[in-house]
Amino acid sequence: MLVVMNKQATPEEIDAVLAAIEGKGYAARPIPGGERVAIGVLHNKGAVDASHFLGLSGVQDVIPVTRPYKLVSREFQPEDTIVQVGDVLIGGGNLTLIAGPCAVESEAQCLKIAQIVQRAGAHLFRGGAFKPRTSPYSFHGLGEEGLKILALVRETTGMPVITEALDTDTFGLVEEYTDVIQIGARNMQNFSLLRRAGRSHKPVFVKRGLAATIDEWLMAAEYVMEGGNTQVILCERGVRTFAHHSRNTLDLSAVPVVCKESHLPVIVDPSHAAGRRDQVIPLSRASVAVGAHGLMVEVHHNPEEALSDGAQSLYPEQFETLCREIQAIFDVFHPPHPVQ
Amino acid sequence: MLVVMNKQATPEEIDAVLAAIEGKGYAARPIPGGERVAIGVLHNKGAVDASHFLGLSGVQDVIPVTRPYKLVSREFQPEDTIVQVGDVLIGGGNLTLIAGPCAVESEAQCLKIAQIVQRAGAHLFRGGAFKPRTSPYSFHGLGEEGLKILALVRETTGMPVITEALDTDTFGLVEEYTDVIQIGARNMQNFSLLRRAGRSHKPVFVKRGLAATIDEWLMAAEYVMEGGNTQVILCERGVRTFAHHSRNTLDLSAVPVVCKESHLPVIVDPSHAAGRRDQVIPLSRASVAVGAHGLMVEVHHNPEEALSDGAQSLYPEQFETLCREIQAIFDVFHPPHPVQ
Amino acid sequence: MLVVMNKQATPEEIDAVLAAIEGKGYAARPIPGGERVAIGVLHNKGAVDASHFLGLSGVQDVIPVTRPYKLVSREFQPEDTIVQVGDVLIGGGNLTLIAGPCAVESEAQCLKIAQIVQRAGAHLFRGGAFKPRTSPYSFHGLGEEGLKILALVRETTGMPVITEALDTDTFGLVEEYTDVIQIGARNMQNFSLLRRAGRSHKPVFVKRGLAATIDEWLMAAEYVMEGGNTQVILCERGVRTFAHHSRNTLDLSAVPVVCKESHLPVIVDPSHAAGRRDQVIPLSRASVAVGAHGLMVEVHHNPEEALSDGAQSLYPEQFETLCREIQAIFDVFHPPHPVQ
Amino acid sequence: MLVVMNKQATPEEIDAVLAAIEGKGYAARPIPGGERVAIGVLHNKGAVDASHFLGLSGVQDVIPVTRPYKLVSREFQPEDTIVQVGDVLIGGGNLTLIAGPCAVESEAQCLKIAQIVQRAGAHLFRGGAFKPRTSPYSFHGLGEEGLKILALVRETTGMPVITEALDTDTFGLVEEYTDVIQIGARNMQNFSLLRRAGRSHKPVFVKRGLAATIDEWLMAAEYVMEGGNTQVILCERGVRTFAHHSRNTLDLSAVPVVCKESHLPVIVDPSHAAGRRDQVIPLSRASVAVGAHGLMVEVHHNPEEALSDGAQSLYPEQFETLCREIQAIFDVFHPPHPVQ
């Protein structure tokens, strides 16, 4: 950390800052510049809380230098984490496709869609049993009945399944039925839920919050890893900006940045980012092209009748096109025998 | 809701949309314009899910008309809700001041600060016992020991206390000790927590999420009210924007908008919005001037030693100045005998 | 346009709104709903100014329906515009690559880089002669001397050149030397400059402003087309959001949206969006994958010595990789004989 | 500036960075930390371009320390700038009110409104003669005829007038007629216009751009001051965020930050920020309470008939209320004999 003093800071103010730094158990190293003094804070283990120094007299700014995350960082583990779910590998040189309806609606619906997406090339089946909804009056999912349908899909097709755990109360139930546990965007800083996920023996899929910086997102993953669960997958799904031509703004530059900072796999969800079917295929191609380790896409055999988010669900034939195109794009910059 | 068709939409496409609307149980009313057809959706109870129609062929846009919230709306209850906590009134023509440290650190610290803020004019005491922190390695509060300290503050000073409930697991514990239960910004869409708060018999203080629209914020309050708890207080605490000269951008226009849309009281928290002490006093004045029903402000007798967010905590004498100034500002546009 | 009344709006208020609409020369069509009345505004030519009605008593909201743009819209011209510059085609089924240094620094620098990018596959050469800079103390480009160097590059290599015109005073000079005239992001709503570009006989390259909606961006292009110049190219270069891991957030969903709304070609500039070299190649792949008609990329043979934006300029060998990869990606979803 | 190296950076990489810094004529001072090396860049005059070092091998981040602006900074001039226009003082301990219609529509309209606002307490009269409009098809103002009407208002009422200059072509004309020259938000980085304003002998009113950081805004003022014109007034008018309940989000925290960083006066324009009349009065009160040196407010005697932005114009009696309230609020924290 670097504490930057005002140009007019007095020697007394500088001394008080030095004392404050040392009072916290760090070493202080003044760096006199042409116009002002800056003070380096050394010997800190991990990040220093800027607020200790920001309010001191004569201090103009406090600039963090050390990254706040540890276990998730590539500095901690240089090689890619590869999460294995059944026979499916996520991360490293693999391209993984997760597909299914927004919400689990019925056995027939799920089996039908599972068959469609598996044939087209999907590796995991998705479907919400517990749905977070902005309104208390909306459809909130089938709950445990939905989880049973997901288990049936796995039995029938052999595809592992992923579904969201909304709270610590139902986490155990979700954990029992599903293969991968999703933490939704709205819960990305629900730290109790993250700690519970850290105690799980199943892989955890951490969606980026609507207004989360990359540091905050990685710190959410750090909570899970800190609890002992190393099987963490990250998912970019759009952030909230002034732009309203898509539901959220898919932030694809986050993918190479996270891949550089962290060893964890990164999946992109273009369906929730776009909110409209006609943007999902182009954004899927772009997500793979930017270097994501896979996609999570909503597909419905009859979107007009879907109980939630029908407008963003692909038709089956669109999903087939998507599978073909993204595999070809992936192959462009991945050698046949990945040696990442 | 209004479904807007493309200029080139065919009669068949229009008919299909009409059928889809009626298939959902609504009435459809076509409005042929000069250049294109729009279709009104009538007889809906509450908001209609746009996604049903957004993906249909020939549809250009779907425009919501009805507000999604009910119980929180001023259309539902025209007169102001006034929340009573002990002898303190929040809402209507009252100006309420909530003050205290960011985190409960010790008995001595809390009693000291409580005495300071009470003497200056504060009505409620705040202090975090369970602290949400971006990092798993940071100080997370004293937990139940902190709650006991808050209860002691109430006993000693007579001031009601407010503190945050982080999850459903500890909600009952917090509810037992505190007078008002805070739902933090990061948990604004933690729907399980909101439902739990809806079953509480204590007032609930709902902070606006970092990227929450006013509709989403009011819908969070709607969750609480839908559960039967009508004692809800809203709190604006800044939103995340590109601007980085303050920690968040305090959105003061939200105050008159919420006061127009809803009957619930609105408090502003300038400390978390600013993140820096020198912005807190001016933003406090502005918050009262814009029409907020009160403030929540962090005060510490020794900010340099605070365990969290010391940089944004006011010194005691600053808080006294603030109390004087905001009362005078409030009086400018409130007659001595409020008749709101 | 749709004027939505409050639930409590009186018949008198509704009548006053009807009268106001008709007073502006439009037709008013009331649409009584279950809970409130909405009023359609018909017979308007082009967009109606919402502000006429927004402030009337009893009005809750005013919702625009008609798109504000005309000449740039696909409703006006269904087939793609293809801009021809020398032998280079931009738009339709073509993939066009624009490359070169941020700023023109010298004859030797430009000829060197031009040779490199041409050999790798670039179609147009870029380089700033007049540079917009946040600081009055920064390097502002070589001016006319830079334009002469660009002309020399064209003579020597046969590649057409593109450079920015900063103001109406120097527009004529830029127009004289260059093949395509760039309007920069900061000038996207410099309407005098756009009108001047509308009178030019050379193609105009309109960069999206940092906080421009798609409507505003298309309206900027509408200014140029309204002046009689139909040779307009759009360029997405990132928008400003809370995210700071890249200089701006590249908004790739804008590409399919613009391609749906407008017939104009869309180029993406990943260099300015990213601001850091290591994000440029992945974002370039993503831009082509999302459906852009081409890229504008900064390349420098010696980025460490560049006079501006060296950190985002690709090394020559990186640019070669990029050219290979994006062509292969483009081919994935474009048949060998484009029949768009 | 501080160059932060990767944890794994090699001694060779560090040496290369040191050499690069010295190659630019600066001094390099390595600061070895517990985990990584940072390198201070010293002996720079003004800001160093981060891009020189950001792309070097082994560099993780580059952190600016020095503020980029000079002449506008309070470090350069500690005491407040007070701009005098006729008898009106702007800045320091003065509260200045600028009011009038959005656009100059006619002699009768302007004289009528001028009389109203002057009687209520306005000091300057505003009105657009050249109007920047998103659409080429909208009303763009009366041009020189509008300027003549403004001059007539000054003659008749004695109030100085302010109006916008849109481009360098018409700048001289505007300068001839008006007392203060406004640079609009869209033109905040129109550097040619800023340079022209820097050569003017009249005060310049620089509106903050929709997505401008405070640094960029102050740098725009720096352009004007660098040209020799020290009479600069800043105007906050809202920034673009995800929030859409007001047209823009008024960023009131910018006021204390700018007052701390710069000696220039800061005016707030709540009318353009809000876009809706019912938010203007509360935001006006808040703007004065936060410490602004004044307001610019739109008033119209007949907003329903206004040619532009009628929905945000106050009725005359609202403006009177506003004047009373803001003066009383201002007095709360300003002693009767200002000694700022």
Q: State in Å, rounded, how far the first CA of chain A is from the last one.
A: 34
Distance CA A237, CA A126 (A): 15
Written as tens digits, the pLDDT of chain C (340 aa) is 778 888 888 889 999 988 888 888 887 877 766 667 878 776 666 666 777 787 788 888 787 666 788 899 988 899 999 999 999 999 999 999 999 999 999 999 999 999 999 999 999 999 999 999 998 988 899 999 999 999 999 999 999 999 999 999 999 999 999 999 999 999 999 999 999 999 999 999 999 999 999 999 999 999 999 999 999 999 999 999 999 999 999 999 999 999 999 999 999 999 999 998 999 999 999 999 999 999 999 999 998 888 877 889 999 999 999 999 999 999 999 976 544 4
pLDDT band (50, 70, 90) for residue D274: very high
pTM of the prediction? 0.89
Sign of CA dihedral C146, C148, C154, C157: negative
**Contact pairs from chain B to chain C, CB under 8 Å:** 58
% of chain D exceeding 70 in pLDDT: 94
Instruction: Closest CB to C135: pick one of D53, D68, D276.
Output: D68
Q: D-contacting residues of B 186-225, CB under 8 Å?
A: 211, 213-214
DSSP A185: G
Per-residue pLDDT at A337 = 54
Model pLDDT for residues A10-40, shown as the tens digit of each residue: 889 999 888 888 888 887 877 766 667 878 7
Average pLDDT over residues A76-103: 96
The Cβ of residue B23 has, within 10 Å, a number of other Cβ atoms equal to 12
Q: What ipTM was estimated for this complex?
A: 0.88
The whole-number pLDDT of residue B289 equals 98
Contact (Cβ atoms closer than 8 angstroms) between residue D98 and residue D293: no
Long-range contacts of C135-141 (CB under 8 A, 24+ apart): C135/D46, C135/D47, C135/D68, C135/D219, C135/D222, C136/D191, C136/D195, C136/D219, C136/D222, C136/D223, C136/D226, C137/D46, C137/D226, C138/C308, C138/D49, C139/C103, C139/C307, C139/C308, C141/C103, C141/C104
> Is B327 in CB contact (< 8 Å) with chain D?
no
Query: D241 to chain A: which residues are within 8 Å by CB?
Result: 242
Identify the CA nearest to C179 among candidates C158, C208, C209, C207. C158
Average pLDDT value for residue range D108-125: 98
Q: A44-58, B75-89, B166-180, D204-218: which has the minimum mean pLDDT?
A: A44-58
Cβ–Cβ gap B308/A137 under 8 Å: no
Tens of pLDDT, residue by residue over B120-176, are 999 999 999 999 999 888 889 999 999 999 999 999 999 999 999 999 999 999 999
Does residue D331 surpass a pLDDT of 90? yes
Topology classification of domain A83-333: TIM Barrel (3.20.20)
Segment among A236-240, B212-216, D48-52, D67-71 with least mean pLDDT: D48-52
Provide the 3-class DSSP secondary structure of residue C239: strand
Residue keyed to tokens 């040209």: D227
Which of the two residues, D49 and C59, has the higher pLDDT score?
Answer: C59
Contact A50 B223 (CB under 8 A): no
For chain C, which chains pass the contact test of at least 3 CB pairs under 8 Å? A, B, D
What average pLDDT does range D26-30 have in this prediction? 80
- Average pLDDT over chain B reads 91
> What is the structure's pLDDT at D329?
97
For the residues A252-270, what does the mean pLDDT come to? 97
Please state, in angstroms and as integers, the Cα–Cα distance from residue C61 to each residue in C36, C51, C52, D282, following that order. 12, 10, 12, 20
Q: What local confidence, expressed as pLDDT, does residue C339 receive?
A: 41
Tell me: pLDDT of B26 over 70: yes
Distance of alpha carbon A268 from alpha carbon A293, whole angstroms: 8
pLDDT tens figures, D311-326: 899 999 999 999 999 9
Task: Determine contact, residues D168/D143, Cβ cutoff 8 Å.
Answer: no
Mean pLDDT score across all residues of chain A? 91
Residues of C in contact with D192 (CB under 8 A): 166-167, 169
Residue B16 burial by Cβ neighbours in a 10 Å radius (0-12, 13-18, 19+) = middle
Per-residue pLDDT at B338 exceeds 50: no
- What are A188-200's pLDDT values in tens digits? 999 999 999 999 9
CA pair distance C336, D252, nearest whole angstrom: 56
The CATH architecture annotation of domain C2-63 reads 2-Layer Sandwich (3.30)
Most confident option among A75-84, A120-129, C33-42: A120-129
* DSSP β-ladder status, D2-5 and D59-63: antiparallel
Q: How far is CA D177 from CA A307, B135, C284, D165, D170, in A?
A: 63, 59, 50, 11, 11
Using the Cβ of C120 and the Cβ atoms of chain D, whether some distance falls under 8 Å is answered with no
Which pLDDT band holds residue D301 (cuts at 50, 70, 90)? Answer: very high
Average pLDDT over chain D, rounded to whole?
Answer: 91
Residue B76, pLDDT score: 86
Q: Name the DSSP letter for residue C40.
A: E
Whether D26 shows a pLDDT value over 70: the answer reads yes
Q: What is the pLDDT of residue C44?
A: 65
Q: What is the average pLDDT across A125-149? A: 94
Give the pLDDT of residue C5: 84
For residue A20, give how far its alpha carbon lies from the nearest alpha carbon of chain C (Å).
Answer: 30
> Contact D3/D53 with Cβ under 8 angstroms?
yes
Give A242's pLDDT tier (boundaries 50, 70, 90).
Answer: very high
- Name the burial class of residue D228, with classes exposed (0-12), middle (13-18) and buried (19+) by CB atoms within 10 angstroms of its CB: exposed
Contact between B50 and B1 under an 8 Å Cβ cutoff? The reply is yes
Let me know the angle formed at the C-alpha of A153 by A147 and A159, rounded to the nearest 5 degrees: 115
Which of D56, D66, D63, D44 has the alpha carbon at shortest distance from D14? Answer: D56
Q: pLDDT tens for residues B51-68?
A: 778 778 888 878 766 678
Residues of C in Cβ contact (< 8 Å) with D132: 189, 191
Tell how far CA B138 is from the center of its chain. Answer: 25
Are C113 and C306 within 8 A, CB to CB? no
Which contacts of D312-317 are long-range, i.e. CB under 8 A and separated by 24 or more positions? D312/C51, D312/C55, D312/D102, D312/D247, D312/D271, D312/D272, D312/D274, D312/D275, D312/D276, D312/D277, D312/D280, D313/C55, D313/D101, D313/D102, D313/D271, D313/D277, D314/D271, D314/D277, D314/D280, D314/D281, D315/D277, D316/D116, D316/D120
Instruction: Tell me which chain B residue has its CA closest to the CA of residue D284.
Output: B290
From B99, B97, B103, B153, select the one nearest B310 (Cα to Cα).
Answer: B103
Q: In chain A, what are the domain boundaries?
A: 2-63, 83-333
Question: So what's the pLDDT on residue A43?
Answer: 63
Residue B333 pLDDT? 93
With beta carbons under 8 A apart, name residues in chain D contacting A63.
2, 63, 65
- What the block records as the tokens of A303 is 């979107």
Closest Cα of chain B to A242: distance in Å? 9
Query: Which chain D residue shows the shortest CA-CA distance from A28?
Result: D33
Q: Looking at residue D44, what is its pLDDT? A: 65
Q: What is the CA radius of gyration of chain D?
A: 23
Could C312 and D50 be called an inter-chain contact, meaning their C-beta atoms sit closer than 8 Å?
no
